[in-house]
């Protein structure tokens, strides 16, 4: 079993930045790709970014590419999401997830462990 806990969310003005962290416990996630997803009120959960198990490959949603950066530290069993140039439409609960595969997949069905989420609110 893997437990994932997100942190770093908050309220920020448009154009600002946040850094989300995901701490994994229970077992190492160094053999799993990791992803970030988000869910805005009244909308379905959507893919944001993913990183391969060794950190060598990343995958981003078109809406965040160039603004968000995913990274990981396998020594610390942690994954990060740097959010820059935030927009009001980035407002959502952000979830960290561990995948069944080593590849940075965009499909939520490829992820079998999920955190509880952290709220990001961007004001205009």
Its sign, for the CA torsion 56, 40, 93, 15, is positive
End-to-end CA distance of the chain: 40
Output the pLDDT for position 84.
98
Both tokens of residue 10?
């908050």
Mean pLDDT of the chain: 97
Predicted local confidence at residue 118, as pLDDT? 98
DSSP-derived 3-state class of residue 29: coil
Cβ 21 vs Cβ 72: under 8 Å: no
pLDDT digits (tens, 9 = 90+) for 7-58: 999 999 999 999 999 999 999 999 999 999 999 999 999 999 999 999 999 9
The pLDDT, as a whole number, for residue 70 is 98
């Amino acid at each position: 079993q893997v437990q994932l806990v997100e942190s770093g969310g908050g309220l920020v003005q448009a154009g600002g930045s946040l850094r989300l962290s995901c701490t994994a416990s229970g077992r190492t996630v160094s053999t799993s790709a990791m992803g970030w997803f988000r869910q805005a009120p009244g909308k379905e959960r959507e893919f944001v970014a993913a990183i391969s198990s060794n950190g060598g490959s990343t995958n981003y949603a078109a809406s965040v590419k160039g603004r968000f950066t995913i990274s990981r530290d396998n020594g610390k069993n942690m994954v990060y999401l740097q959010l820059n140039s935030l927009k009001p439409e980035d407002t959502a609960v952000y979830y960290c997830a561990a995948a069944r595969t080593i590849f940075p997949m965009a499909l939520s069905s490829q992820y079998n462990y999920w955190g509880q989420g952290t709220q990001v609110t961007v004001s205009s």
